[in-house]
Structure 1
């Protein structure tokens, strides 16, 4: 008698994870912050969580809805970090540590509201913008001690920019050392003694002469529209209408949107490198060079906020010079780091990079913030702040 039993292969029953929606949102946030909203397909996100597109659409009807959900999740995390930090308002270290921990753990999250949120409609962005303002205001109120002094508020706002600055660069350290470097940077900002914050003035109508070149007019118009509508959301028809040309006539002066953006970014990089070369050639020592670099950069960031904004938000735009631009930015920052380390030889290179990058990003972030862009002595304020942060 054959008592062997025929055994059938066991069928694995796949159970839907209870947190599938959360997994989808996290995958989407990661993709959007790493690749850019316009470069991500719904199928990419579905594949990341091992589901089909139809299953994804049962949860979210569009990429925009996913971006809204990813923004909500990260803003909630930042809000929780700030709430945890301000539970003991007198403990400055606790406040800074909590947000620094968020920045290290959720490093690319700020890119969702600083860069990718521009792809949302005004209706979609409005409640997220209100949430972001509320979160920032809570942090600022905690660090400024409820002080209504505008200088204290500006320092607290700058400290938050510095803490979240790792989103915009790739330099890293072990988590504890990374948090420590960010906290050190934020403390330097909060300890800075600033001139009185000047008057807020309504920007006057453009003065001076308009360029004679049609190409220059097109480039200037394109840059303004990129800032308002995003590079991806701008059509050549929009730029043509702004300068009073037909779209077909526009092609007589520029090849594409990428041509406009590349021109702006190359000029911005070129200006910074030329001024860097001039300063290094005439500086008496490293401190003199760093002081002058800070002043020139702060002035440039305030005068041409739309250019520095493009340099940190649109560098991934299609074109043939992206790597050249990135290399130029890396070399520029490296010169700052070299000067900083000459003044502070005890700082390790990675920590020095984090502090320098954080200072540069703080200048850019405050200069492009419309709340401060109209302050008449903003360049002086940022120069004073950054100089005290880097030279001590």
Structure 2
């Protein structure tokens, strides 16, 4: 006797499945390019069924941006108030690695939240930073605990910003160890490499095309690529909108050119500052000092390149991804020479952890460019790498 087919059972956690799928799509595509149809497809339902759970894309996006923050707050509440720093950071790493594919949404895309939702999200992450800072203060008795806490969280959060394949537990252990080293580092004992770094000057806009790029970058940084029109860019350089198309086919081509400019400047800076460097430790320190100086010296350019890359079409992304991989390869080679105990995946994860330190420490310092701040952040980056 043949059994009759059973009706499909609707999963009880469908709303959570939707949020998880949406987080992955928003991370991959960006808020504006993501579609409800693609998100629904990732859950195996129709877009119409998706709207039964969320009234619109913004409502779903807002819940996605809060998913990691809520998870972090809940995980830290389970750690006893007097819990050790390693336990606090392990709780953070566990949630962050678990949300790896969707966790990047909050870092760049959260700027598209409305003012009240941004305030709520900032408050949640503020609680996380404060909890880590309290533990740092108790265990290390240092005056700059918030900077170290933010930098340590940047090391852990970096796992959401790249795709290096590594087992979850292995990633957690590697990131916690990196974050602990960051916290244990005294920035006052900075390596001083900032004073040895020379950055290539940003090109002076001598052509109309260069003027357009120079005008577009700060607009993209302040308002986001989607919110900046061709008309505003044209107005900033004294052109009509139709005249703009003589130099760039479209706004996305301006963005791609800006990102390529960022990659070229960084590659030039690395080449310049590695000349004459002999040992791998010295090379890694030089790379660290260069990356920090570049990040502080070209904040608008790097911010746009990092935040808007996902919005580029695949053909325009490709040369930028190649440039990024080449940059990481230089770091990986020198770091593994300095630390032979690391395999390639571990080295790449730690390099990205160092980049995460720079982003969060730089934000904490409001990107105020000074030799002291560059030295401080360089010391924290080097610590993240385990040197």
- TM-score, structure 1 as length reference: 0.85
Counterpart selection for 1:187 from 180, 192, 195 = 180
Cα deviation, residue 107, structure 1: 0.9
Confirm or deny: 8 A CA contact 1:189 1:385 kept in the other structure: yes
Cα deviation, residue 8, structure 1: 10
Counterpart selection for 1:92 from 68, 85, 95 = 85
Of 247-256 and 334-343, more deviation after overlay is shown by 247-256
Q: Does 1:325 align with 2:320?
A: yes
Q: Distance in 2 between matches of 1:144 and 1:344?
A: 30
Instruction: Give unpaired runs (5+ residues) of structure 2.
Output: 191-201
Name the structure 2 match of 1:200: none
Name the structure 2 match of 1:53: 47
Counterpart selection for 2:225 from 222, 227, 231 = 231
Cα deviation, residue 178, structure 1: 1.5
Provide the alpha-carbon RMSD of the alignment: 2.8
Within 5 A, what are the aligned runs for 1:6-25?
Answer: 10=4, 12-25=6-19
Counterpart selection for 1:256 from 231, 246, 250 = 250
Cα deviation, residue 185, structure 1: 0.7
Cα deviation, residue 27, structure 1: 2.0
Deviations 1:139-166 (A, max 9, x none): 3333333989552221111000001111
Confirm or deny: 8 A CA contact 2:18 2:39 kept in the other structure: yes
Find the residue that maps to 2:336 and give its secondary structure.
Answer: helix
Cα deviation, residue 222, structure 1: 1.4
Name the structure 1 match of 2:58: 64
Cα deviation, residue 373, structure 1: 1.5
Q: Distance in 2 between matches of 1:275 and 1:98?
A: 37
Q: Distance in 2 between matches of 1:9 and 1:92?
A: 56
Name the structure 2 match of 1:171: 164
- TM-score, structure 2 as length reference: 0.86
Name the structure 2 match of 1:145: 138
Find the residue that maps to 2:310 and give its secondary structure.
Answer: coil
Counterpart selection for 1:154 from 147, 154, 168 = 147
Larger radius of gyration, structure 1 or 2? Answer: 1
Count of paired positions: 374
Of 313-322 and 91-100, more deviation after overlay is shown by 313-322
Cα deviation, residue 48, structure 1: 2.9
Cα deviation, residue 65, structure 1: 0.9
Cα deviation, residue 273, structure 1: 1.8
Counterpart selection for 1:346 from 323, 341, 347 = 341
Q: Distance in 2 between matches of 1:29 and 1:40?
A: 10
Confirm or deny: 8 A CA contact 2:156 2:353 kept in the other structure: yes
Of 329-338 and 137-146, more deviation after overlay is shown by 137-146
Confirm or deny: 8 A CA contact 2:357 2:380 kept in the other structure: no
Deviations 1:155-202 (A, max 9, x none): 1110000011111111132222211111111111111111299xxxxx
In 2 relative to 1, CA 53–155 (structure 1 residues): closer, same or farther, beyond 3 Å? Answer: same
Q: Does 1:378 align with 2:373?
A: yes
Counterpart selection for 1:283 from 255, 277, 281 = 277
Q: Distance in 2 between matches of 1:116 and 1:173?
A: 25
Cα deviation, residue 68, structure 1: 0.5
Q: Distance in 2 between matches of 1:342 and 1:183?
A: 22
Q: Distance in 2 between matches of 1:284 and 1:374?
A: 31
In 2 relative to 1, CA 163–209 (structure 1 residues): closer, same or farther, beyond 3 Å? Answer: closer
Within 5 A, what are the aligned runs for 1:297-308?
Answer: 297-308=291-302
RCO comparison, higher one (Cα < 8 Å, 6+): 2
Q: Does 1:356 align with 2:318?
A: no
Cα deviation, residue 9, structure 1: 8.3
Cα deviation, residue 98, structure 1: 0.9
Cα deviation, residue 365, structure 1: 3.5
Deviations 1:372-392 (A, max 9, x none): 323643212112222344463
In 2 relative to 1, CA 80–250 (structure 1 residues): closer, same or farther, beyond 3 Å? Answer: same
Deviations 1:263-317 (A, max 9, x none): 2221221122223223333212222222222111111101111222233222223
Name the structure 2 match of 1:135: 128
Q: Distance in 2 between matches of 1:387 and 1:286?
A: 13
Q: Distance in 1 between matches of 2:20 and 2:355?
A: 29
